Amino acid sequence: MAAETLAVEVAFALPSKQRIVALWVPEGTTARQAVALADLPTLFPDLPDDTFSQAPLGIFGKALRDPDTQLLREGDRVEVYRPLAIDPKVARLERAKRQASDPGR
């Protein structure tokens, strides 16, 4: 009996460039495997080689705890998340410091 295939998408975006890659993958494919199959490094050659192999992943906006074992379902859109430029907690702390040092606010 032939293995079933699933239609999925892999999405990645930079501020200036976005791509969604449509794929047919075998049933039992993980989110991380789908990212590898999408071959995003060829679409984003200016990024470091390991950008996609270790990036946090999600499906339809919900972060995955373990993308290496998360099996995909028909129609899933795997999203590759960029690392944050600054930790949100650090950003809030920096804002609070600036506001505290500016009494005219």
Domain of 34?
5-101
Q: What is the pLDDT of residue 1?
A: 40
pLDDT, greater one: 77 or 105: 77
Please report how many Cα atoms fall inside a 13 Å half-sphere around the Cα of residue 54, on the Cβ side. Answer: 6
Q: What integer pLDDT is reported at residue 30 of this predicted model? A: 98
Task: Give the pLDDT confidence score for residue 104 in this predicted structure.
Answer: 62
Structure tokens at 51: 């950008």
How many CA atoms lie less than 13 Å away from 75 in the CB half-sphere? 0
The total number of structural domains in the chain stands at: 1
The stretch 96-105 carries a mean pLDDT of 74
Is it the case that residue 105 has pLDDT exceeding 70?
no
Specify the pTM: 0.77
Which residues, in sequence order, are CB contacts of 35 under 8 Å at separation 6+? 10, 52, 53, 55, 57, 67, 78, 80
User: 23 with 38: CB under 8 angstroms?
Assistant: yes
Q: What's 43's domain CATH number?
A: 3.10.20.90
